[in-house]
Amino acid sequence: MLDERARARAWLDLHDGLQSEIQSRLPADADTPSIALINGGSAPGEGEFYVLNLEDNGYEMKPYRDLGLVEADAFAGVETGQYGATDYETMLEVDPDLILVHWGITTGSVTFDGDGAFDAEAFHEQYVAPMEDDDVGSQLAAVQAGRVLPGPTAEQGPLVNAFQTELTARLFYPEEFGAVDPEAPFEVPEDDRLFDRDRVQAILDGEAA
């Protein structure tokens, strides 16, 4: 069995390998879509959005930093209200290529009184459909392109971060890392996996070298 130091080294090795794989395959900056990261507490049905800052420190934004996405923040320098509050009109002025819902990947999950890992229908009903039905929201490029997507959670240790970094890479660069199935975002074809699941299991079991 691994002691805690050996387990920590194993996680760091896995993390470094994942980062090396991603960095070697990242597209040029010109191919990076502009992003609006909205809080999961946003209410598109009421025209209320709460924009998050990708430059924030801490582990919450780590997947975005690691993927070099901070510079793609569509709302950088845009004036918003308290807690990043904004509306459809401002969203359309900014018109990001992609709208990502922070914590969206947990919609309908056991985390929020659901009965599974992710409920695609609930996500569409709560976030996507109201934008499609709004006169202004329906004009957003991300809405028209079907790129209102469930984003990672804020809470993440080394295990969750590995899966969320892989998910984020696939959300932003589907042509390079493989497209996310919106009905089953946690299911990754073996050829698209960016780290070894067997090694993760070995670390969890205390058996990784």
Tens-digit pLDDT profile for residues 15-38:
999 999 999 999 877 678 999 999
Q: Bridge-partner residues for 37, per DSSP? A: 100
- The span from the CA of 12 to the CA of 207, in Å, is 15
Going by C-beta distance under 8 Å and a sequence separation of 6 or more, which residues neighbour residue 29?
68, 71
pLDDT reading at 64 higher than 80: yes
pLDDT for position 114: 54
pLDDT for position 19: 95
Find out whether 74 and 36 touch, Cβ atoms under 8 Å: yes
pLDDT for position 186: 83
pLDDT bracket for residue 209 (50, 70, 90): low
pLDDT reading at 43 higher than 80: yes
Q: Is the dihedral of CA 51, 148, 185, 126 positive or negative?
A: positive
pLDDT for position 60: 87
pLDDT bracket for residue 4 (50, 70, 90): confident
Spatial CA neighbour of 100 closest among 171, 186, 165 = 171
147-174 average pLDDT score: 91
150-170 average pLDDT score: 91
CATH no. of 33-192: 3.40.50.1980
What rounded mean pLDDT belongs to the chain?
90
pLDDT for position 101: 96
Radius of gyration of the chain (CA): 18
pLDDT reading at 109 higher than 90: no
Q: Is 108 left (phi over 0), alpha (psi -120 to 50) or beta?
A: left
162-176 average pLDDT score: 93
pLDDT for position 59: 85
Q: Where are the domains of the chain?
A: 33-192
Find out whether 11 and 75 touch, Cβ atoms under 8 Å: no
